[in-house]
Structure 1
Amino acid sequence: MFTLKNNFKILPFILIISCLNFLFFHIPFFNFVFENINYKSLSGFFVITSLVVLMILLNAFVFFLLLFLSQRIGKFILVLFFLFNSIAFYFVSTYGIIIDESMIGNVLNTNYEESSSYFSLKLVLYLIFLGVLPSYLIVKSKIESVSLKQFSILSSLTLLSALFLVFVNASNWLWIDKNSKKLGGLAMPWSYVVNTSLFYIHQHKKNEKEILLPDAKIKDNEKAIVVLIIGESARRQNFSLYGYSKNTNPLLSKTQNLFHFDANSSATYTTAGVKSILDHKETNDLYEILPNYLYRNDVEVIWRTTNWGEPPVHVKNYQNKKYLQANCKEDYCGYDEVLLNGLKEQVLASKKNKILIVLHTSTSHGPSYYKKYPVQFEHFTPVCKSVELSNCSKVELINAYDNSIVYTDYILYKTIESLKQLNSYKSTMLFVSDHGESLGENNLYMHGIPMSIAPKEQYEIPFIVWVSDASKMKVKKMDNLSQYHVFHSVLHFLNIESPIYKEDMNIFEYK
């Protein structure tokens, strides 16, 4: 009988480890394959069988190579694979995510507060049984070394077998290529290993210093304020302004001079979504974003945030959650309403005529939607109070999310009421979400699915605008908007002349 005190021959050992890796972490991978191929047909059966064998063989080859080069380093890397695999598998199976490059960016830009909200007993159990226990086996096993000749023969046979399977599946390459993004995002550990490498390669290629835009000119001395509120995970279909059956906008629905547009986000995760709202055009380059551009051109810019993931913001008045809460003594200080605390006074203290205020909220970020609003905004019950969203009923999950929209409605309304009191300024409020949110549709939760395959729930967003009577502005009749309309609309409202301004991307016009 085998005990950890026995020596393992290297070939049986790597086959066992590769098979464990396959059995433990690839249920979502093959669920996708079975859902998208006719597995009852001969060709479908052959594809599935080939994928199983290929996955085991290729992983075994990599594991073999690592252990041959150095058993100590090889074991260490294998332990990391199983630990990270167990965590990745939890999120893939629990929230239906795909681990592509954009998801890696989302993960790497997550702070402690957000990451801790995902903690659950289920995650601990996954980590222990699928990560720690196999890692113990790997560390304690004694593995016999092989000669270079044996390694070369075994490696060559493995690669030749893999190449043979690839060759005989030539007729199925089109299907595999078509679904490569999802297949690659579900294959452990290569989903996060490859995409983490790609993320850092692309980050390195980006401009280290932002590209400055052409200088702008303020054309008049009229006092004007724009409040840009960046929503978090706010999906359009749950706003009653857009026809949702539940009254999630009891205050905005009664507000005069309010307009709403259909809009689509350019991404399904925060960092890219926020960048798009602040950029002058669709680009992967690091151009000067709206607040930096206006601040450099003598506009008063106030940035307040309870969130994270924005591009570098270079303004004097940058106030994060910690700063805002330290200067707040009200009951609402633990929620997004803290963004409005003392804001009117800060505006009145400004010596400049043109003001841009950016409020970056976190109101509808999951999975703990019920923690994002004060108890008096719990209009819909019962609510989901589990971070494992699939454990909640559909009604509970949607109720918790809808309550966060009711709270968003209140924050927007309160912002508008504050602007009305600043009657010496012409003013407007724009609310645009960074992306949408999945709430169990097609067994998907939250956001982050690649845009090429993302469901509409993750990119259909609200674009809500209010203008003051004093502004003498009206909003154009426009169809579907993008996040890039924000930049040019703000320039127009503040009457700022710029070579990069595009009139067709502006939503305002004079009455």
Structure 2
Amino acid sequence: MLKSSFKLSKFVLLICLMNFLFFHYPFFKYIFSNVDYTSFSGALLCFSMLILVVLANYFFFYLLFFVSKIIGKFFTILFFLINSIAVYFINSYSVIIDESMIGNILNTNFDESSSFFSFKLIIYLVCFGILPSIFIFKAKIEKITLKKFLINSGINLGLILLIVVANASNVLWIDKNSKVVGGLAMPWSYAVNTPLYYIHQAKKNQKEILLPDAKITNNEKSVVVLVIGESARSENFSLYGYSKNTNPLLSQTENVFSFNATSCATYTTAGVKCILEHENTSDLYEILPNYLNRNDVEVIWRTTNWGEPPVHIQNYKKREDLFVNCKGVGCDYDEVLLNGLKDEILNAKKNKILIVLHTSTSHGPTYSKKYPPEFEVFKPVCNSVEVANCSQNELINAYDNTIIYTDYILYNVIETLKEFPEYKSSMIYVSDHGESLGEKNLYMHGVPMSLAPKQQYEIPFIVWVSDGSKELKKNNALTQNHVFHSVLNFLSVDSPIYKEEMNIYK
């Protein structure tokens, strides 16, 4: 039987121990995997981090409950519920709840978020979130005097200070690993990084910085289709030497070139921003579609995805807009982006056209739901949202089928452009970031760049050019920023910020 009432210090200690036991396995797994705990300094660090987690949470919750039992219970229950969900994703997908991951969570649409739903998630929520919350809600807590609060708090802070001083020799390790350690500590990972995300977003989105005016240097009809991929890693494209034939159509198409490239980040919002900006920066400069639209280029944006910076053009269409007049099974997938594409070019009022297709084809965890049944070439496939429960072969098969479907979409873009011989045309395909498929026990993407495996940042950069339009440079290693300057070059847009060394065309 539970006690009818608790002293505040004992209740808060119990809450902290529950928080420690339920939600900090990934935290200490990381520390013990990256520290030589057989040495004195390593053992001291491991022990100190264990005590520090309890003490830091104790001070916070003790203060919260002293100020108000109602406020204390509200936030403690809220933290336990969120912690249970956060730890599910950490354990299932090896994510780190840092500032960039908070951005991913807050910007994820309903279709994507619903794809993560699983019975295992419900178990985590009930066992680690709801049941402890019922106990917290019903618990009776005795009042304490201000004097006792100050004494206990002083002892707590003194112990924290002592531990910090004792680990002076481990400062370099703590500094180097602070982003990951902070991203695994509950509830601090999201409690700190969420307001940081909003602060930084407010600074970024104050007002986009306009680029200098540009001018079009000729009247030749030119069109570029920029296809922004989602979670595509070059390692699984046969154009890059992959053993399985994931590019059966593009490999047989003339004037198709593939280049080694890396992304600026491992998550969508930063990756797409980098593709569309003239240089990699934390500032919000005028992005490519806005810039060209302002400088007399016809710009068309079609998307089944999300996460791009603000796009200020008239012809902006989402999945639901494209779906209206679409027919066939492909309309439920990224083929909907091709619906009416030919008419967009036919109805263009200007000689220079940029069309952006923002796809979602290879986004996990439900890779097998991202392509029509006829593209399930590699079998068996993983059909579970809990990708760690599938064999790596099943997971890779499902992912490879999304690449085959991407190959089909890109081939059809090229075939559409071939129907306009009066235009000089080019297609550029570049992914926002890569993807982990179980290597080193990592899944999907979003690991900080300083720690990310190559699978999360080595991306495909595939280019097609029409006969008689332009040739390509050798281009050994490209970045996402090459897109901006290359599109300017192909469309004959002269700008003061244009960089020839960032242009892929001769």
Q: Please confirm whether the aligned pair reaches a TM-score higher than 0.5, indicating the same fold.
A: yes
Deviation (angstroms), 1:45: 2.1
Q: Which runs of 5+ in 2 are unaligned?
A: none
Q: Deviations over 1:80-132 (max 9, x none)?
A: 10000000000001000111111111111101110000000000110010001
Q: 1:497 aligns with which of 480, 494, 500?
A: 494
Deviation (angstroms), 1:207: 4.2
Amino acid paired to 1:373: Y
Q: How does 1:297-336 map to 2 (within 5 A)?
A: 297-336=295-334
Instruction: Give the RMSD, CA atoms, in angstroms.
Output: 0.9
The match for 1:21 is: 19
Q: 2:449 aligns with which of 448, 451, 458?
A: 451
Q: Distance in 1 between matches of 2:218 and 2:191?
A: 53
Is the contact made by 2:387 and 2:395 (CA closer than 8 Å) also made in structure 1?
yes
Q: Is 1:107 matched up with 2:105?
A: yes
The match for 1:148 is: 146
Deviation (angstroms), 1:346: 1.7
Q: Distance in 2 between matches of 1:184 and 1:466?
A: 44
Q: Distance in 1 between matches of 2:295 and 2:170?
A: 57
The match for 1:346 is: 344
The match for 2:253 is: 255
Q: 1:167 aligns with which of 165, 168, 172?
A: 165
The match for 1:206 is: 204
The match for 2:95 is: 97
Q: Which runs of 5+ in 1 are unaligned?
A: none
The match for 2:47 is: 49
Q: Distance in 1 between matches of 2:79 and 2:260?
A: 43
The match for 1:87 is: 85
The match for 2:133 is: 135
Q: Distance in 2 between matches of 1:37 and 1:235?
A: 31
Q: Distance in 2 between matches of 1:467 and 1:273?
A: 24
Q: Deviations over 1:258-310 (max 9, x none)?
A: 11100000010000100000001111111110001111111111100000011
Q: Is 1:157 matched up with 2:155?
A: yes
* Runs of 4 or more above 3 Å deviation: none
Is the contact made by 1:425 and 1:470 (CA closer than 8 Å) also made in structure 2?
no
Amino acid paired to 1:29: F
Give secondary structure in 2 for the equivalent of 1:66.
Answer: helix
Q: Distance in 1 between matches of 2:43 and 2:496?
A: 59
Give secondary structure in 2 for the equivalent of 1:301.
Answer: strand
Deviation (angstroms), 1:400: 0.1
Q: Is 1:484 matched up with 2:477?
A: no
Is the contact made by 2:334 and 2:360 (CA closer than 8 Å) also made in structure 1?
yes
Q: Distance in 1 between matches of 2:151 and 2:222?
A: 75
Q: Distance in 2 between matches of 1:416 and 1:165?
A: 62
The match for 1:2 is: 2
Q: Distance in 1 between matches of 2:176 and 2:462?
A: 37
Q: Distance in 2 between matches of 1:315 and 1:96?
A: 38
Q: Distance in 1 between matches of 2:497 and 2:172?
A: 42
Give secondary structure in 2 for the equivalent of 1:452.
Answer: coil
Give secondary structure in 2 for the equivalent of 1:143.
Answer: coil
The match for 1:193 is: 191
Give secondary structure in 1 for the equivalent of 2:143.
Answer: coil
Amino acid paired to 2:25: I
Give secondary structure in 2 for the equivalent of 1:406.
Answer: helix
Amino acid paired to 1:463: F
The match for 1:226 is: 224
Deviation (angstroms), 1:470: 3.4
Q: Distance in 1 between matches of 2:95 and 2:2?
A: 38
Deviation (angstroms), 1:39: 1.8
Amino acid paired to 1:2: L
Q: Is 1:126 matched up with 2:124?
A: yes
Q: Is 1:475 matched up with 2:472?
A: yes
Is the contact made by 2:329 and 2:372 (CA closer than 8 Å) also made in structure 1?
no
Deviation (angstroms), 1:46: 2.0
* Percent identity (aligned): 67
Q: Deviations over 1:427-449 (max 9, x none)?
A: 00000000000000111100001
Amino acid paired to 1:508: Y
Is the contact made by 1:423 and 1:470 (CA closer than 8 Å) also made in structure 2?
no
The match for 1:441 is: 439
Matched residue pairs, number? 506
